[in-house]
Structure 1
């Protein structure tokens, strides 16, 4: 069993540029899935924005990012990041979810997603937003 935490940065239309910049600084591999790629376009003008992206280097640097859809609130600097917890099994992630959800506001119930066998998002009782999922190949 293995779990890692990754800073998950939030942008409004700048995620692709930010990830490319971080890749130029730290090296590594860049992976990007747009809302169009995932079949999750709710606002046509946002189809090519980043639904999920990541830079990961052999040296250990890792950061994730996405473009917050216009239908959701976003204020640069106010909700600039999430803490992402990725695990190998549904049992592992479900156990973390159950503990984190005590007193939390669930933003996306834990369940299957197009990009992961299990995914959920909540804001804990301390105001920290957590994204949890079972890691899948990109």
Structure 2
């Protein structure tokens, strides 16, 4: 049996822009279906919002997203904390982790995701990887990018 997990992101109206951005970073096929495509009357406020969206790349990268309906409760804003060792972390309950085989490969993804992002930890060598970094992108999603340790050694 094979099991795969796909990160599913929830947005407040910018899922389409986020998915288009992620496709520009990771490549692959973009699927976007709006609430109106499923029969919601086009004149309603959420009709053009994304009810299902996904980017799927040949590399194995896959991410899904949608826009929460406008009547849904707002999520709490993320916060940043600094630990005693000086490492800054976000208050998010999860991160999207992307692993690659080489620092060049992962660094190229980092450069694209960093456009408009808040850098949590700059991409570079770390004690456990020849390439590691953390950022919160322009859509508020926190990403961890690293060279896979098994591949590094």
The alignment's TM-score, normalised by the length of structure 1, stands at 0.52
SS at match of 1:21: helix
Q: What is aligned with 1:20?
A: 20
Q: Partners of 1:19 and 1:71 in 2: how far apart?
A: 22
Q: What is aligned with 2:6?
A: 6
Q: What is aligned with 2:65?
A: 65
Structure with the larger RCO, 1 or 2 (CA within 8 Å, 6+ apart) = 1
Q: Partners of 2:13 and 2:62 in 1: how far apart?
A: 20
- Count residues with an aligned counterpart: 81
Give the drift of 1:3. 3.1
Please give the root-mean-square deviation of Cα atoms over the aligned residues, in Å. Answer: 2.6
Which of structures 1 and 2 has the bigger CA Rg? 2
Stretches of structure 2 that go unaligned for 5 or more consecutive residues are: 79-91, 95-153
Q: Partners of 1:54 and 1:70 in 2: how far apart?
A: 20
Please state which structure has a larger fraction of its residues in strand: 1
Q: Partners of 1:42 and 1:73 in 2: how far apart?
A: 23
SS at match of 1:46: coil
Stretches of structure 1 that go unaligned for 5 or more consecutive residues are: 82-138
Is 1:19–1:53's contact at 8 Å kept on the other side of the alignment?
yes
1:76-124: per-residue Cα shift (whole Å, max 9, x none)?
656988xxxxxxxxxxxxxxxxxxxxxxxxxxxxxxxxxxxxxxxxxxx
Is 1:68–1:74's contact at 8 Å kept on the other side of the alignment?
no
